[in-house]
């Protein structure tokens, strides 16, 4: 697969503040790429640079090999950028609105009607063709906004927080729409501040925090990276004998050299142990406990959930 987007040390400065700081990314052709980070991380600023609306202060970005700062007109022809707030001309009918933007994209004559029909069909808005834009729900307005950026059949879609404000059903419909667009061969970049929202949809993700990249790669890699920061195990102790309570076990385990932290588990008699980064012999703890006379009833690793991975990776990982 070839690269659709490449950024190298992409930086945007507002005064002395760096909203995007030396971001280096590769987005392959055909990817559904999640661009994830908390509020203020620099997602919108990055997308605006890729969409040629903002100029990079430093570094470079290319779309299909074309430099966004040097040849913005060419880049605009192959991208569809959907901003996080979309202005819809409210007193227009849906098809008038799409006609208007087709004209703006330079689509003329019969191909204009065909382009409008095609995007209405793709976004499931045929029935709303003659509806007033003002009458559309938020989910439909958002689909209309997507229809608009599909008119010129772009290769790359840049969607800024497209799922925010949608109800659960509209979110599912939105995901289906993204998958349909992926099938058409489009590369799709979607920003969000929620990782789990995009987890199953994305072929790759980047996590940004405080203007910097903290992770770029497959979704599973993010959970693996957190796992590498220290595996967590729950240990269930059978209590009863004096001096062998879960509390005693907690203090015993705490003193072991390869243990980073211990706390009480969620259940009675349970303790939760975090091992040092890179430590991969947790069974040693089991052995130590048993040798000491503790009765270990269960010993199980805590799976890293996507949301936990996100919280870990964006929690002061970058200073
Ligand atoms: N035009 C501007 N002038 C000054 N500062 C700006 C400008 N645009 C963005 N910033 C700042 O850059 C930082 C990153 O903003 P950006 O909108 O890119 O974040 P974001 O990740 O999209 O956040 P959100 O999830 O809230 O949409 C913020 O601190 C923001 O205040
Ligand atoms: Mg934003």
Q: Which of 184, 217, 250 is the last residue of a domain?
A: 217
Q: Are residues 140 and 48 in the same domain?
A: yes
Question: Is 115 among the domain residues?
Answer: yes
Say whether pLDDT at 214 is over 50.
yes
Across the chain, mean pLDDT equals 90
Q: Are residues 233 and 179 in the same domain?
A: no
Higher pLDDT, 286 or 313: 286
Say whether pLDDT at 318 is over 50.
no
In this structure, the number of other CB atoms found within 10 A of the CB of residue 206 comes to 26
Q: Name the nearest CA neighbour of 182 among 220, 155, 143.
A: 155
- Averaged pLDDT for residues 274-286: 90
Q: Which atom of ligand 1 is nearest to the CA of 47?
A: 18
Q: Are residues 209 and 237 in the same domain?
A: no
Question: Is 111 among the domain residues?
Answer: yes
Q: What are phi and psi of 54, to 5 degrees?
A: -120, 140
Residue 106 sits at the vertex; the CA angle it makes with 101 and 109, to the nearest 5 degrees, is 95
Say whether pLDDT at 306 is over 80.
no
Contacts of 39 (CB under 8 A, 6+ apart): 193
Q: Which atom of ligand 1 is nearest to the CA of 45?
A: 18
Q: Are residues 115 and 249 in the same domain?
A: no
Euclidean distance between CA atoms 38 and 68, whole angstroms? 25
Question: Is 300 among the domain residues?
Answer: yes
Q: Are residues 196 and 291 in the same domain?
A: no
Q: Name the nearest CA neighbour of 35 among 160, 191, 159, 163.
A: 191
Q: What is the per-residue pLDDT for 208?
A: 93
Confidence of residue 1 (pLDDT cuts 50, 70, 90): low
Q: What are phi and psi of 56, to 5 degrees?
A: -65, 145
Q: What is the CATH number of the domain that holds 270?
A: 3.30.70.100
Say whether pLDDT at 317 is over 70.
no
Structural domain span for residue 288? 226-313
Q: Are residues 257 and 209 in the same domain?
A: no
CA–centroid distance for 295 within its chain: 43
192: its two tokens: 């969000």
CA–centroid distance for 222 within its chain: 11
Give the tens place of pLDDT for each residue, 38-56.
889 999 999 999 999 999 9
Q: How far is the CA of 101 from the centre of ligand 1 (A)?
A: 27
Sheet holding 66-67, edge to edge: 17-28, 3-14, 58-63, 66-67
Say whether pLDDT at 261 is over 70.
yes
Confidence of residue 311 (pLDDT cuts 50, 70, 90): confident
Question: Is 319 among the domain residues?
Answer: no
Confidence of residue 249 (pLDDT cuts 50, 70, 90): very high
> Nearest bound ligand to CA 192?
1
Q: What is the per-residue pLDDT for 184?
A: 94
Q: Which of 217, 237, 254 is the last residue of a domain?
A: 217
Q: What is the per-residue pLDDT for 67?
A: 97
Q: How far is the CA of 61 from the centre of ligand 2 (A)?
A: 19
Say whether pLDDT at 304 is over 80.
no
Give the tens place of pLDDT for each residue, 126-169.
999 999 998 998 889 889 999 999 999 999 999 999 888 888 88
Nearest CA to ligand 1 atom 3: 14
Q: Are residues 71 and 120 in the same domain?
A: yes
Q: Are residues 165 and 301 in the same domain?
A: no
Q: Determine contact, residues 102/94, Cβ cutoff 8 Å.
A: no
Question: Is 205 among the domain residues?
Answer: yes
Q: What is the per-residue pLDDT for 166?
A: 84
Give the tens place of pLDDT for each residue, 186-210.
999 999 887 777 777 899 999 999 9
Euclidean distance between CA atoms 129 and 127, whole angstroms? 6
Give the tens place of pLDDT for each residue, 93-105.
999 999 999 998 8
For the four alpha carbons of 69, 70, 76 and 80, in that order, the dihedral sign comes to negative
Confidence of residue 89 (pLDDT cuts 50, 70, 90): low
- Averaged pLDDT for residues 1-23: 95
Answer yes or no: is the C-beta of 83 below 6 A from any ligand 1 atom.
no
Q: List, in sequence order, every residue forming a beta bridge with 273; answer none if it has no partner.
A: 233, 262
Q: Are residues 309 and 172 in the same domain?
A: no
Give the tens place of pLDDT for each residue, 219-244.
888 888 878 888 899 999 999 889 99
Q: What is the per-residue pLDDT for 228?
A: 82
- Averaged pLDDT for residues 100-114: 89
Q: Are residues 156 and 297 in the same domain?
A: no
Q: What is the per-residue pLDDT for 88?
A: 64
Pocket test of ligand 1: the residue of 15, 16, 19 to mutate, having most ligand atoms within 8 Å of its CB, is 19
Q: Are residues 134 and 168 in the same domain?
A: yes
- DSSP letters, the chain, are --EEEEEEEEEEEETTEEEEEEEEEEEETT-EEEEE--TTSSHHHHHHHHTTSS--SEEEEEETTEETTT-HHHHHHHEEEE-SS----TTSBHHHHHHHHHHHTT--HHHHHHHHHHHHHHTT-GGGTTSBGGG--HHHHHHHHHHHHHTT--SEEEEESTTTT--HHHHHHHHHHHHHHHHTT-EEEEEES-HHHHTTT-SEEEEEETTEEEEEE-HHHHHHHHHHT--EEEEEE---STT-SHHHHHHHHHTSTTEEEEEE-SSTTEEEEEEPTT---THHHHHHHHHHT--EEEEEEPPPPHHHHHHHHTSSS--
Q: What is the per-residue pLDDT for 240?
A: 86
Q: Are residues 230 and 210 in the same domain?
A: no
**How many domains does the structure of the chain reveal?**
2
Q: What is the per-residue pLDDT for 105?
A: 86
- Averaged pLDDT for residues 273-280: 90
Q: How far is the CA of 44 from the centre of ligand 1 (A)?
A: 7
Question: Is 94 among the domain residues?
Answer: yes
Question: Is 318 among the domain residues?
Answer: no
Q: Which of 217, 238, 273 is the last residue of a domain?
A: 217
Question: Is 152 among the domain residues?
Answer: yes
- Averaged pLDDT for residues 175-184: 93
Q: Which atom of ligand 1 is nearest to the CA of 161?
A: 27
Q: What is the per-residue pLDDT for 28?
A: 96
Q: What is the CATH number of the domain that holds 158?
A: 3.40.50.300
Say whether pLDDT at 305 is over 50.
yes
Answer yes or no: is the C-beta of 11 below 6 A from any ligand 1 atom.
no
């Amino acid at each position: 697969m070839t690269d659709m987007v490449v950024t190298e040390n992409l930086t945007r400065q507002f005064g002395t503040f760096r909203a995007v700081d030396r971001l280096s990314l590769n987005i392959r052709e055909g990817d559904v790429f999640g661009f994830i980070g908390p509020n203020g991380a620099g997602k919108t600023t990055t997308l605006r640079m890729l969409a040629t609306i903002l100029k990079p202060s430093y570094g470079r970005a290319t779309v299909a090999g074309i430099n966004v700062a040097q040849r913005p007109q060419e880049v605009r022809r192959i991208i569809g950028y959907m901003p996080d707030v979309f202005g819809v001309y409210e007193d227009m009918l849906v098809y008038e609105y799409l006609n208007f933007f087709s004209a703006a994209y330079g689509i003329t004559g019969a191909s204009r009607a065909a382009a409008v029909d095609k995007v209405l069909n793709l976004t499931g808005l045929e029935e709303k063709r003659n509806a007033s834009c003002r009458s559309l729900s938020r989910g439909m307005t958002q689909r209309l906004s997507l229809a608009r950026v599909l008119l010129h059949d772009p290769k790359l879609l840049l969607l800024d927080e497209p799922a925010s404000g949608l109800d659960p059903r509209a979110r599912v419909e939105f995901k289906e729409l993204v998958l349909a667009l992926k099938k058409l061969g489009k590369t799709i970049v979607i920003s969000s501040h929620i990782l789990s929202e995009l987890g199953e949809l994305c072929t790759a993700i980047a996590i940004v925090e405080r203007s910097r990249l903290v992770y770029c790669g497959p979704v599973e890699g993010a959970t693996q990276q957190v796992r590498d920061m220290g595996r967590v195990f729950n240990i269930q102790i059978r209590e009863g004998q004096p001096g062998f309570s879960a509390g005693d076990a907690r203090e015993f385990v705490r003193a072991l050299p390869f243990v980073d932290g211990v706390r009480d588990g969620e259940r009675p008699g349970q303790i939760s142990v975090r091992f040092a980064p890179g430590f991969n012999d947790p069974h040693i703890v089991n052995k130590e406990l048993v040798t000491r006379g503790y009765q270990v009833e269960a010993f199980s690793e805590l799976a890293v959930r996507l949301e936990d991975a996100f919280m870990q990776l964006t929690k002061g990982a970058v200073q």
